[in-house]
Amino acid sequence: MKEKKRETILSYILKEIRRIIYVMVDEYRFVFRDSGLVAIFLLATIAYPILYSSIYKNETVYDMPITVIDKSNSVQSRKLIAQINATPHLEVVEKCNNLEQAKESFYRRNVHGAIFIPEDFSTKINRNEQAHISIYSDMSSFLYYRAMLLGTNLTILNTNKEIKIKKLNAMGRVGQVAETSIKPYQYKGTIFYNNSMGFASFLLPVLLILIIHQTLFFGITMGAGIVRTDRNVLKSEHPKKFYSMLLGKALCYFSLYIVIVPYVLLFIPHIFKLPHLGDPMDVMRLMIPFLFAVIFFSIAMAVFIKTREAGMIVLLSSTVILLFLSGVSWPQSNITGFWKVFSMLFPSTLGVQGYLKINSMGANIQQVAFETTGLWIQAIVYFIIATISYRFQWKYDEKKERAKLG
C-alpha cells in the first residue's frame, strides 16, 4: 500500500515537472516568434546599458564655458579670472561688457554661466572690506550648477587665503606661523564609494537594475496583452493547474535573464569603469530572488493588461516613480513611513539597495540579508497573488462565455 502511494506521488511529481517544462518550452516559442518581445528581452537589455553608460561615461562636467563681466578691471579681478579659468571645472570663453550681453550669449547656448565682478571689487579689498562677486548659473542641468559652484568656490577660498596671508605678512607674521594662523587645524575629507563624485557612478548602477526590472515587466505584460488580443490561453487552462503554468512561465523568463544579468550587472560596470567592488557571485545570489520577485510581480500585474500597448503606458508612468522610491535620488532615511512601506511593494527597491551595497560598497551576501529575504518574500507573495488572479480571471471568462452562449 505504501509503495503504491509512493509510486502515485512520484508519478504525480514527474507529471507536473513535465508539464512545467512543456509550459516553459512553449513560452520560449511564444517569445521568440514575436519580434516585439525579442526586441524587449534581448535588444533592449543589450543596447540600453551601453547607451546609458556611453552617454554618462565622462562622469562630470569639465571646462564648462562661462562668461565674465569684469567692471573692476583691476589686478585683483584679472588674477581672480585667471584662477577661475585654471580650475578643471570652468573655462572663461568670453568677456562681456554688461549683463544684457551675457544674457544674449547664454540664450545662444554659448555659455552656461556668468560671473559679475563689480567696480568696487579691488577698492574694497584694498580697504580691508568685504568684496562681493555675483555668480549666475545655468540650472537646466544640476551638473552645470555643480561645476559652477565647485570652480568658483575653490577659487574664492584660495583667494581669501592669499589675502589673509598678505595681511599677516604685513604684520610681521610670515611662513608657517601665518599658515597656521589662517588654518589652525587640518582636515581631510574622504568621499566613500564615489571618489570622483561622478554622475555615472552615482546613477548608472540604479539604472542597470531598473533596466532589468522594467524590460522584464514590459515584456511579460506585453505578452499578456498579445494573448488577450490574439488567443485566450486562460480558458484552455484548468484552474487547479495554474501554479504549474505560472512556474513554467517563470522558469522561461528566469533562464533567459540569468544569462542576461551577468552582462548587465557585471560586464557593463567593468567595461565602463563603474563601481564593481563586490564579489560577482554575491551579485548573482542576490539576483536569483530578485528575478523571481520581478517575474511573479509582472505576471500578477499582467492579469490587468488587456492590450499589447497597455504595458507601455504603465512602463512610462512607473519608471521615474521607481527611481525615486529606490532611495537613491532622495535619501531613504528621509522618506516618510507611508512611502517607505509603499516602495517595498516593488522588487526594484530592494534590488537597487542590495545591488548598491554589494557592487558599490563592497558588502557580502550576509550583509544584504534583509534585501535577499525581502525579495524571496515578495516572490512567494506575488506567486500566490498571480495564482489567485489567474484563477479569478479564468472563472470570470467562463461566466462571460456562458452568458454569451446562454
Q: What is the pLDDT of residues 40-68, one digit of tens each?
A: 999 999 999 998 888 877 777 888 999 99
SS3 136: strand
Using CB atoms within 10 A of its CB, is residue 163 exposed (0-12), middle (13-18) or buried (19+)? middle
Question: CA 303, 309, 312, 314 torsion: positive or negative?
Answer: negative
Closest CA to 315 of 27, 44, 34: 44
Mean pLDDT of 25-53: 90
Mean pLDDT of 25-49: 90
Task: Encode 87-124 in three state secondary structure.
Answer: CCCEEEEEECCCHHHHHHHHHCCCCCEEEEECCCHHHH
pLDDT at residue 7 greater than cutoff 80: no
For the question of whether the overall pTM of this predicted structure is more than 0.75, the answer is yes
The pLDDT tens digits for 98-141 are 888 888 988 888 999 999 998 888 888 888 788 888 889 888 87
The pLDDT tens digits for 369-395 are 999 999 999 999 999 998 888 887 777
**Contact (Cβ atoms closer than 8 angstroms) between residue 72 and residue 118:** yes
Furthest CA-CA distance within the chain: 107
Average pLDDT, the chain: 84
Question: CA 321, 322, 328, 332 torsion: positive or negative?
Answer: positive
Mean pLDDT of 20-46: 89
- Higher-confidence residue of 202 and 90: namely 90
Q: Which amino acid is at 70?
A: D
pLDDT at residue 142 greater than cutoff 90: no
Helix (H) / strand (E) containing 70: strand 64-70
> How confident is the model at residue 295, as a pLDDT?
95
Mean pLDDT of 201-225: 89
> How confident is the model at residue 184, as a pLDDT?
65
Write out the three cell numbers for 170: 604685513
The pLDDT tens digits for 158-181 are 887 777 777 767 676 666 666 666
The pLDDT tens digits for 330-364 are 777 788 888 888 989 999 999 999 999 999 888 99
> How confident is the model at residue 3, as a pLDDT?
61
CB neighbours of residue 105 within 10 Å: 17
How many alpha carbons lie under 13 Å from residue 253 in its C-beta half-sphere? Answer: 28
> How confident is the model at residue 237, as a pLDDT?
45
Ordered domains of the chain (ranges, CATH): 2-56+198-399 (no CATH), 64-182 (3.40.1710)
> How confident is the model at residue 268, as a pLDDT?
92
User: Which of 240-254, 262-276, 309-323, 391-405: highest mean pLDDT?
Assistant: 262-276
Return d(Cα 284, Cα 323) in angstroms, integer.
22
Closest CA to 264 of 320, 185, 207: 207
CB neighbours of residue 181 within 10 Å: 13
